[in-house]
Chain A
């Protein structure tokens, strides 16, 4: 149980385009989903917390107009990187809280974004 999927697993795009990443909880309802980014050999940095049906809460320094988060249902959250630039290239990972143990987070496999 407690499986989280992400799609796509990797994406390469041109500078200036927008990219959407999906995060799904496959076997449980996730009241809360989290979005992280991870640079090589660095730890996970929380970008935002999203609750189903409400606006996401962004961490300090994260531009909400650049990283659009939608949590439309209890099993799906999306992160859209708008007008992507090379410095946005990173590993983006979502996690979901819910299931049998609501105090733990279950992570997706991550999406590697490369902006040319």
Chain B
């Protein structure tokens, strides 16, 4: 079993839809959780950063972490064509130089 599992998609939704992206993980030691957005042939851009369990909201984006279920989610409200990208979840065990472990990424297309 891989440490981080993420459905690669592709996921296609109409403009304005609510998008739900998810990752599961097996290592209960993960404490820090991140979501990155990556456009084609570009580097990942940090969207959300969460420590431990709970919810975090930033504009149209909401990140949720459920450590008891080892499950994290990213919700995008009122999705736009410009949200079309690959979304990568990432997590790590500790602070400092502890390496990030990435999911494979989910390709999202928002259709106008």
Q: Which residues of A contact B (CB under 8 A)?
A: 4, 6, 32, 34, 41-44, 46, 49, 51, 91, 93, 95, 97, 101-110, 112
Closest to B94 in A: A103
Out of A32, A42, A46, A107, name the residue touching B43 (CB < 8 Å). A107
Out of B42, B88, B97, name the residue touching A110 (CB < 8 Å). B42
Are A44 and B102 in contact (CB-based, < 8 A)? yes
Asked if B54 is an interface residue, CB under 8 A from chain A, the answer is: no
DSSP class of B's interface residues: helix, strand, loop or mixed? Answer: loop
Q: Which residues of B contact A91 (CB under 8 A)?
A: 41
Q: Which residues of A contact B95 (CB under 8 A)?
A: 102-103
- Measured in the bound complex, the distance between the Cα atoms of B41 and A112 in whole Å is 8
- Measured in the bound complex, the distance between the Cα atoms of B102 and A46 in whole Å is 9
- Measured in the bound complex, the distance between the Cα atoms of B89 and A114 in whole Å is 27
- Measured in the bound complex, the distance between the Cα atoms of B4 and A46 in whole Å is 14
Closest to B6 in A: A43
> B85 → chain A, closest Cβ, in Å?
13
0/1 interface trace, chain B 84-110, chain A, CB 8 Å (1 if under): 000010000001110110111100000
Are A106 and B97 in contact (CB-based, < 8 A)? no
Are B8 and A44 in contact (CB-based, < 8 A)? no
Out of B97, B104, B105, name the residue touching A97 (CB < 8 Å). B97
Q: Which residues of A contact B100 (CB under 8 A)?
A: 34, 46, 105
Q: Which residues of A contact B71 (CB under 8 A)?
A: none
Are B46 and A46 in contact (CB-based, < 8 A)? no
Are B104 and A43 in contact (CB-based, < 8 A)? yes
